Amino acid sequence: AHFCRFFVEPKKEPSPARRRTYTTHSRPTQPISMTTPDVGAAHRREADESEAPENDHRERVNANCPCDDDGARSHLSDADTHADADARSRTSQTSSSWSEVSPPHTPAIMASLATYSSGDGRTVLPLRPSVKDYAWGIRGLDSRVARYALESGIVDEVDPDCPYAELWIGTHPKGPSTLSNGTPLQEKCGDLPFLFKVLSAGKTLSIQAHPDKSLAERLHSDNPQAYGDSNHKPEMAVALTPFEAMCGFRRIEEIAVLLKKHPEFAACIDKEAQLEVFVAGDEPSQAAALKHLFGSFMSCPEEKSKKQLSLLLKRLQYEQSANHPHPHEEPPWERKCARAILRLAQQFPHDAGAMAPFFLNYLLIAPGESFFMAANEPHAYVAGEILECMACSDNVVRAGLTPKFKDVPNLVSMLTYSTGGPSIDSGTPAYGDDRIMRYTPPCPEFEVLVVTCNPGESLVMPKLDVPAVFIVIEGSGSTDNEDGQRLVMRPGRTYYIPQGSSPLTLNVNEAKRGPLKIAVAHENLHADSPTAVNPKLPKTWRGEFGGWNGSVPASPVPTKRESNSKAQELAKNAALKLEGEVRDKLSIVNI
């Protein structure tokens, strides 16, 4: 006993794994727990511990002793321990926004990753997505993409000055996902028909549209460098935070009001195109007039558009200031349009694309809501974070608000010029469980499930007959299945579910602070019953907030009959005013 007391050190309890807690400053959110992804045997160990009651900021986890498949402990070497300490020090210096830091991957854990990632045909496998750092992304740890990339092991540290924009999950060659051992996902499942993304927008994206299949094939053939895919790109967005976007053309009546009220806007468009807007009657003539109007604006000489934009900004700044004698005399939708233009002009000085809100609906999408953008429809995302799923393509035709390649002639010719904006979809309960919300677009390549499991609950996921991928978007918990596989769920962890895998059961301990939410993407299994509104249905007005067939309009219109009568009166007055100015030109055209 005397010998043991002096020459044998008492066994120390393993230090608990330290957890990083980060809270965004741009919006109030629940702190997100971020730890290093340990899969395979480490997943089973974490799953067991995730069922234990949760303390304020720590869980008792022996992170330095991952278990092998037989349950035996594999102790790390001193060198690994020192490497972890050095990595913690570096990460703490780089990411000061984190209150605490957890150790990165160790050689022993990486070995278990490589062994586990081989799997069999039914094993759920962890993935490493691809990260894109476009100029419009959110910088540093304010970006959900950055936090997810850190959790997935894609990056060892987050650069506070880097704009983390998109996280790609799929097999697209520009950003293929891999298994944890580096094997491309494409080797496991072939080419997935969809591409699943997390998007963090801190700055407005370009005014753009995506081609249909026939146009995509032609563009790819004519200019493969600018258009690398021959596939179409319909896409659907599901908001994770309040999300701002410009989508689809405004109704022709609204554009007529804006032309009359803003002479700077009208000065960028020729008189004939303006007159067509005021006198257009049925939908085909409205679409033709809108095409002529938009084409005229996009072809306005750069010097002229810059001058008119400068004059417009001076006037709008005065009208939006407290010095204006009647700051609230215009309707709310017009004030929102003016503020949007001022905001875009700050981001893109001297770019006439800042006047895009005169043409496009400006929408605010709440978390949990979604919208679908079909091919050949104009849009530009403004700010916020979303899940985005699309056909496997990266074709984009741009026309403004970007330093990248612009293809104005193709954009003007390809658009459908339908008006009213997209329908807003809140999802529909699926598989007999209202905790599983289904978002189904009217295209066969993809659909999205958002699954919520509350503390103290278990939820059995549906068995899918197609390959799928999923990402944990918030909360924590564990999963298990009939094959005995157990996984730990943390925000940002991403997985591949092979076709025919045993259904996963989500489990969340009752001591957890909030629900576990995951987002699943797979081939569309409900193409015959989309949750998005069928665009072929006749448009009927559903009230100020319902819009046309559930869409969100830029301005309230009480009834379609009132709208038509006001539009006719406005068109008559405007036509009389413009008739003298364009009579000679129109007579020449008629001859």
What residue has token string 């060198």?
A: 79
CA distance 503 to 462: 6
Whether 398 sits among the annotated catalytic residues: the reply is: yes
What residue has token string 């799997």?
A: 119
CA distance 295 to 293: 5
Among the options 147, 398, 438, 493, which is catalytic?
Answer: 398
Distances 321 to 199, 325, 338, 442 between C-alpha atoms, Å: 33, 9, 12, 44
* Cα 311 versus chain centre, distance: 34
CA distance 14 to 5: 21
CA distance 141 to 159: 8
> What residues have CB less than 8 Å from 221, skipping those under 6 apart?
230
Q: CA-CA-CA-CA torsion for 464, 470, 474, 480, nearest 10 degrees?
A: 60
- 157-166 b/e with 16+ CB inside 10 Å = b? ebeeebbbbb
CA distance 430 to 452: 12
The token duo for 286 is 């409205």
66 and 43 in contact (C-beta within 8 Å)? Answer: no
Helix 271-279 with 283-298: angle, nearest 10 deg: 160
61 and 35 in contact (C-beta within 8 Å)? Answer: no
DSSP run (H or E) holding 115 = helix 107-118
CA distance 461 to 353: 45
Active site residues: 398
